[in-house]
Structure 1
Amino acid sequence: MTPARVLTLPGWQGSGPGHWQSRWEALHGHIRVEQHDWMRPLRGDWTARLEEVILAEPGPVLLAAHSLGCILTAWWAAHSAHTRRVAGALLVAPPDIGRDDNRRMIPGWAPVARQRLPFRGIVLASSDDPFCGLPHASRLAADWGADFVNLGAKGHLNAASGLGDWDEGRAWLAALGAAPPPAG
């Protein structure tokens, strides 16, 4: 079986050089799903781009999504006929896109797709994420049929959180890649 290629899915404004996604790309050769416009994300455009990148890969992929990238993953999975190409998704710090402040910053992304993902997922959340409370992140994980992990007080799990190369996240990604597919 071909090992899964890791695709990183940054959120709104992309991921700068100190972000764990950028560090993983440099250290481990993961591929970023580049979007046309990181500042004014359009759900349809981002979804089409993710579809293109997944279809261009010769084998299975693992998705390492951050923030709006998590919402993109769920939306894509609800509409794509190619979800069997995804071995699993690491969903880090999903935002509460229905909250008024988040919806104003990133219009057009609500409502969130809440169907069960057709591949294994792990939602990693922080107890002091300014963009999403733990109860909402936990509900998203339950709706998506994903495992839920509270990582404690680590902010938005981005560069400002001081995660560096984030070995803990790599361990969760490795566990996800080694897991058998979900039943049903």
Structure 2
Amino acid sequence: MSRRVLIVPGHGNSGATHWQSIWEASKPGFWCRVKIEDWDHAVCDEWVAAIARDVEALGPDTIVVAHSLGCLAVVHWAARNTVAIGGALLVAVPDPSAPAFPRADSIGFSPVPSARLPFPSIVVASGNDPYAAIGYARSCANSWGSEFLDVGARGHLNAASHLDDWAEGYQLLQRLNRKTRL
């Protein structure tokens, strides 16, 4: 993949066995992780500022790979910025009203913007994600103008889902890259 990739993990960051970390480790130099000071106490404005700073450094051709709360941060960033990017892979979009959502440690992410995203995107969801019903994820994809993919009952699509390097997800990223190539 020739484009720069910005990884935006969810609440708590992604550990070494999370597919985002595995992808990042396999492509040093072209892939980087958004720099957040406190991964356990998420403040939307801080995450949006970090995404803006990193996208500016990486350039407008950047593709963003977001997981969970990182997806909401990317959508908030897109609503507040005019900088175009190459596209975004948005995996396991959480619903701030879901019982499992870490409301006390995730400030300012609700309401979730519903405007169409100004770049190509794919929303990937699982049918048994405790952080969002599949209908919520599909509704977000429709509002954002994103392609939608239901990958079946795979949990929160994180390390606990035992996805390892998640080849299916990487193929989606490659498809997004080809789709947005200039």
TM-score, normalized by the shorter chain, greater than 0.5: yes
Summarize deviations over 1:55-88 as a string: whole Å, max 9, x none. Answer: 1114510000000111011100000121x2x111
The alignment status of 1:54 with 2:50, answered yes or no, reads: no
Aligned-partner SS, 1:164: coil
Q: Kindly indicate whether the alpha-carbon contact (under 8 Å) linking 1:3 and 1:59 is maintained by their aligned counterparts in 2.
A: no
1:14 match: secondary structure: coil
Q: Does 1:87 align with 2:86?
A: yes
**SS of structure 2 residue aligned to 1:179:** helix
Q: In the alignment, residue 20 of structure 1 is paired with which amino acid? A: W
Give the deviation of 1:109 after TM superposition: 1.3
- What is the rounded CA distance, in whole Å, between the counterparts of 1:73 and 1:174 in structure 2? 19
Deviation by residue 1:18-73 (Cα, 9 ceiling, x = unmatched): 00000001112221112111010111111001100111114510000000111011
Partners of 1:177 and 1:7 in 2: how far apart?
13
SS in 1 for 2:74: helix
Once the two structures are superposed, the pairs formed by residues 1-184 of structure 1 within 5 Å of their partners are 3-29=2-28, 30-58=31-59, 60-82=61-83, 84=84, 86-99=85-98, 101-102=100-101, 103-180=103-180
Provide, for residues 76-122 of structure 1, a one-character-per-residue CA deviation record: whole Å limited to 9, x for no partner.
Answer: 0000121x2x1110000000013355234523211001110000010
Q: Is the 8 A contact 1:3 1:60 kept in 2?
A: no
Unaligned 5+ runs, structure 2:
none
| TM-score computed with the length of structure 2 as normaliser | 0.93
State, as a whole percentage, how many aligned pairs show the same letter: 41
Comparing 96-105 and 137-146, the one that deviates more: 96-105
* Contact 2:100–2:130, Cα closer than 8 Å, also in 1: no
Q: What amino acid is aligned across from residue 68 of structure 1 in structure 2?
A: L
Please state whether the residue corresponding to 1:89 is helix, strand or coil: strand
Which contiguous aligned blocks of 4+ residues in structure 1 show a shift greater than 2 angstroms? 98-101, 103-108
- After superposition, the CA RMSD in angstroms is 1.6
CA separation of 1:148 and 1:58: change in aligned 2, threshold 3 A: closer
Aligned partners of 1:4 and 1:74: how far apart in 2? 20
Query: Residue type matched to 2:172 in 1?
Result: W
Contact residue 63 and residue 86 of structure 2 kept, 8 A: yes
Aligned residues: 178
Greater shift, 96-105 or 12-21, is seen at 96-105
Structure 1: 5+ residue runs without aligned partners? none
TM value normalised by structure 1: 0.92
How far apart, CA to CA, are the structure 1 residues paired with 2:177 and 2:125? 19
